């Protein structure tokens, strides 16, 4: 069992203001994974004060970009040395399968950080524009200030570092509010920041619940809010930011559609959707959970998806052979089950899965991977984010119909196109109103951007665009 007695506030390990303790229990069997302090408003006050002082008077914003880059590179190397340890801890906390957390900690997070480092190394921090004989003008990229970063539990280190790394490279100071479900890995991450040698006050990491999140984002000492989570929570944060005219970036929910054209190689499609739709227990905002199939191949697609889903190993997430683990909490398990009940009530055809627990799993927050066919895009199971292993297959008549259905959603985060002709797939992808689209399952580069249209968010993460979320532009003429 892991025990943390202190919080990481302003670059130092300090006793918490209160005595409330977070117990992190395994969603697989309920065993106690560890304990950590629950940050109180007084802890947030201390963290913001330290960040404010470090930004206003400390060295970090005044370091050269190269000096900041060197410290972040040192952090990155220290993180890599503990990647497997972090993967196992996150799996124990939130039930993400070990194959996923290992990939994320060994490969995904380092590549994400590398993309930010490349962008920072090539950025023109003081750009000369419109020079004349009489004057010169410089557009300066200045750090926005104190950043409040609020992250979810489903991919905690990836979510944290896609905010912390760009903010720090630009010269901001950061207070990270982690979810109570993943409090332990958050404080373990603080150990790496501590070892990397950031100046005092630059980084604080405090795990706490929703009330503390709201206290942090509304804090008058915060200049910018970076949030990943539900659309409902994003609306609340946006309203708080609007009242104070704070800068805000929001990475929110999704209901991504994958369009399968008639000429697609179905074996490639199903193999790709295995991860794109059901990776990380489908507790992923970008999961492809609406599968759009042509009527001419509809039953073929349904059958292939059924075979794939029936073959997935569900069980202990710490077993490397397990593909799908438990939902993170009992209420999340019940939420997913309620959508399965709703799908049946709405008249969709239950192809596989359902309300019975997976065989041999009497404990834990498990849900059977569930597939619905004969789904209309007006059904709630086709419109609302379920955040669990439930897929719906929607028929379409032609490509125009497929695009109409894909775009008929309040969300616009991700999506896919599957076809024989890659150029045709690219052309079709341009018609889909989402932040990311993959053609035949091609993985995105971390030098690109990630974020959503419509109710899937505001702003973008990754690469040079991600750095820009933490910048204020200042024009100086002389």
Q: What is the pLDDT of residues 82-92, one digit of tens each?
A: 999 999 999 99
Quick one: which H or E segment has residue 148? strand 146-150
Is residue 324 very low, low, confident or very high in pLDDT (cuts 50, 70, 90)? very high
Q: Is the pLDDT assigned to residue 9 strictly greater than 90?
A: yes
Average pLDDT over residues 303-314: 98
**Residue-range definition of the domain harbouring residue 195:** 2-252+456-477
Tell whether 211 is covered by a domain: yes
Contacts of 383 (CB under 8 A, 6+ apart): 255, 377, 409, 410
Q: Is the pLDDT assigned to residue 133 strictly greater than 90?
A: no
Q: What is the pLDDT of residue 285?
A: 96
Average pLDDT along the chain: 97
Tell whether 266 is covered by a domain: yes
Q: What is the pLDDT of residue 304?
A: 98
Which one of 285, 385, 419, 461 is the catalytic residue?
Answer: 285
Using DSSP bridges, classify how beta strands 146-150 and 173-178 pair: parallel, antiparallel or unpaired: parallel
Tell whether 363 is covered by a domain: yes
Q: pTM of the entire structure?
A: 0.96
Tell whether 398 is covered by a domain: yes
Domain check: are 149 and 109 in the same one?
Answer: yes
Average pLDDT over residues 3-15: 98
Which CATH number characterizes residue 72's domain? 3.40.605.10
Tell whether 308 is covered by a domain: yes
Domain check: are 247 and 260 in the same one?
Answer: no
Which CATH number characterizes residue 289's domain? 3.40.309.10
Tell whether 451 is covered by a domain: no
Domain check: are 461 and 439 in the same one?
Answer: no
For 289-340, the three-class secondary structure string (H helix, E strand, C coil) is EEEEEEHHHHHHHHHHHHHHHHCCCECCCCCCCCCECCCCCHHHHHHHHHHH
Is residue 72 very low, low, confident or very high in pLDDT (cuts 50, 70, 90)? very high
Domain check: are 237 and 273 in the same one?
Answer: no
Active site residue 285: yes
Domain check: are 263 and 327 in the same one?
Answer: yes
Active site residue 85: no
Domain check: are 242 and 348 in the same one?
Answer: no
Q: What is the pLDDT of residues 362-401, one digit of tens each?
A: 999 999 999 999 999 999 999 999 999 999 999 999 999 9
Is residue 410 very low, low, confident or very high in pLDDT (cuts 50, 70, 90)? very high
Quick one: which of 54, 44, 52, 49 has its CA closest to 16? 44
Contact 370, 358 (CB under 8 A): no
Q: What is the pLDDT of residue 135?
A: 79
- As a whole number of angstroms, the distance between CA 356 and CA 76 comes to 43
Is residue 134 very low, low, confident or very high in pLDDT (cuts 50, 70, 90)? confident
Domain check: are 343 and 241 in the same one?
Answer: no
- As a whole number of angstroms, the distance between CA 382 and CA 359 comes to 27
- As a whole number of angstroms, the distance between CA 309 and CA 305 comes to 6
Average pLDDT over residues 347-358: 97
Domain check: are 319 and 420 in the same one?
Answer: yes
Contact 27, 326 (CB under 8 A): yes
Domain check: are 133 and 166 in the same one?
Answer: yes
- As a whole number of angstroms, the distance between CA 253 and CA 278 comes to 16
Domain check: are 29 and 150 in the same one?
Answer: yes
Q: What is the pLDDT of residues 266-290, one digit of tens each?
A: 999 999 999 999 999 999 999 999 9
Instruction: Give the percent of the chain with pLDDT over 70.
Output: 100
Q: What is the pLDDT of residue 77?
A: 98
Domain check: are 302 and 206 in the same one?
Answer: no
Number of structural domains the chain divides into: 2
Tell whether 166 is covered by a domain: yes
Domain check: are 184 and 66 in the same one?
Answer: yes
Which one of 181, 251, 283, 385 is the catalytic residue?
Answer: 251
């Amino acid at each position: 069992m892991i025990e943390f007695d202190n919080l990481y506030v302003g670059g130092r390990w300090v006793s918490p203001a209160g005595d409330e303790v977070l117990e992190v229990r395994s969603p697989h069997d309920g065993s106690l994974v560890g304990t950590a302090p629950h940050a109180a408003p007084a802890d947030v006050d201390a963290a913001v004060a330290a960040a404010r002082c470090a930004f206003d008077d400390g060295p970090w914003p005044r370091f050269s970009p190269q000096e900041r880059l060197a410290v972040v590179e040192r952090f990155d190397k220290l993180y890599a040395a503990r990647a497997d340890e972090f993967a196992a801890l996150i799996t124990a906390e939130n039930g993400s399968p070990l194959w996923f957390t290992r990939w994320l900690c060994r490969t995904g997070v380092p590549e994400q950080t590398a993309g930010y480092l490349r962008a920072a190394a090539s950025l023109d921090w003081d750009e000369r524009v419109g020079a004349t004989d009489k004057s010169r003008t410089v557009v300066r990229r200045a750090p926005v200030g104190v950043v409040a970063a609020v992250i979810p539990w489903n991919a905690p280190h990836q979510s944290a570092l896609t905010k912390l790394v760009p903010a720090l490279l630009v010269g901001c100071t950061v207070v990270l509010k982690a979810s109570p479900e993943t409090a332990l890995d958050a404080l373990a991450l603080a150990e790496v920041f501590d070892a990397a040698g950031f100046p005092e006050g630059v980084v604080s990491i405090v795990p706490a619940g929703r009330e503390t999140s709201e206290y942090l984002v509304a804090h008058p000492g915060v200049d910018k809010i970076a949030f990943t989570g539900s659309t409902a929570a994003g609306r609340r944060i946006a309203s708080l930011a609007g009242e104070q005219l704070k800068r805000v970036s929001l990475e929110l929910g999704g209901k991504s559609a994958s369009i399968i054209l008639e000429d697609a190689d179905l074996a490639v499609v199903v193999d790709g959707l295995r991860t794109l739709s059901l990776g990380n227990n489908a507790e992923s905002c970008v999961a492809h959970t609406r599968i759009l199939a042509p009527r001419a191949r509809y039953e073929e697609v349904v059958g292939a998806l059924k075979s794939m889903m029936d073959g997935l190993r569900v069980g202990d997430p710490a077993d490397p052979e397990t593909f799908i683990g438990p939902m993170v909490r009992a209420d999340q398990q019940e939420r997913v089950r309620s959508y399965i009940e709703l799908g049946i009530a709405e008249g969709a055809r239950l192809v596989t899965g359902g309300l019975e627990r997976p065989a041999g799993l009497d404990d834990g927050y498990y849900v059977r991977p569930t597939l619905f066919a004969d789904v209309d895009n007006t059904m709630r199971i086709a419109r609302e984010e379920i955040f669990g292993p439930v897929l719906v297959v929607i028929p379409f008549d032609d490509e125009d119909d497929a695009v109409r259905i894909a775009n008929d959603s309040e969300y616009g985060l991700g999506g896919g196109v599957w076809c024989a002709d890659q150029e045709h797939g690219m052309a079709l992808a341009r018609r889909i109103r989402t932040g990311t689209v993959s053609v035949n399952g091609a993985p995105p580069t971390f030098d690109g951007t990630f974020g959503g249209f419509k109710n899937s968010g505001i702003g973008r993460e990754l690469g040079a665009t991600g750095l820009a979320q933490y910048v204020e532009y200042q024009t100086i003429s002389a």
